[in-house]
Structure 1
């Protein structure tokens, strides 16, 4: 599994479709057409711009906005949960670029501590639902080679 790193990669995926949603998260996805995918693929050969997705693999990015998680420790804990849980689903996710986006805040009255075990469990449970919905909804996309 590859991680999204550049702003243009995130923008390309967010311009794609929303595959699954839960109360707090949304999963955006854009299919990779070939070994090197880019909206500017034809232009990149001429202008020597780097290709957005150089490898045909599962790509993943996490967006946790300060708007929805005020404390940095909370944002980092949520991102760690996203990346660790996505590793469990890597074999079942289609070869595409994905972005998991936090789209609503967790109630600070219910989860007082920024990194409480209750918050981590709630995030993990909701992410499992998100990835399960995404896998169930995208049977037409190509799975990573060597997976059933």
Structure 2
């Protein structure tokens, strides 16, 4: 699994289709052969590319954003075999309630994020191209 790094890579994937949604996350996918110039952005290798977008709007504290990104990359790495060779972006689209999850690095928040990400990837498998 490779990580998206440049702005152009993220923009190319976000221009693709939204494959799955949950209460807090959305998964965008761009096949590597679909847009013109994708080969130059992602290389010729048929690999799984993953990026994470966690805006300040939905997770104010940096420690929360980093914890969510770590969960995204960990769950994606575990599900790499089930993902098609394409570029994916997992985007946080709603915030987690700070009254329910007081600590940004609590096990309760990590478990909730992990469970929802697993649900998101299962929905993406059903919508496989």
Shared fold per TM-score greater than 0.5: yes
Q: Bigger radius of gyration, 1 or 2? A: 1
Structure 1: 5+ residue runs without aligned partners?
A: 42-49, 142-148
TM-score (norm 1): 0.83
Q: 1:100 aligns with which of 90, 96, 111?
A: 90
1:95 and 1:51 map into 2 onto residues whose CA distance is 16
TM-score (norm 2): 0.95
Q: Answer 1 or 2: which has greater helix percent.
A: 2
Contact 1:20/1:134 (<8 A) preserved: yes
Correspondence 1:39 to 2:36: yes
- Which residue of structure 2 lines up, in the alignment, with residue 66 of structure 1? 56
2:102 and 2:37 map into 1 onto residues whose CA distance is 46
Structure 2: 5+ residue runs without aligned partners?
A: none
Could you say what the CA RMSD is over the residues aligned between the two structures, in angstroms? 1.4
1:79-94 to structure 2, matched below 5 A, reads 79-94=69-84
2:36 and 2:123 map into 1 onto residues whose CA distance is 27
How far 1:61 moved relative to its partner?
Answer: 0.2
1:38 and 1:28 map into 2 onto residues whose CA distance is 14
Structure 1 residues 32 and 40 mapped into 2: Cα distance closer, same or farther (>3 Å)? closer
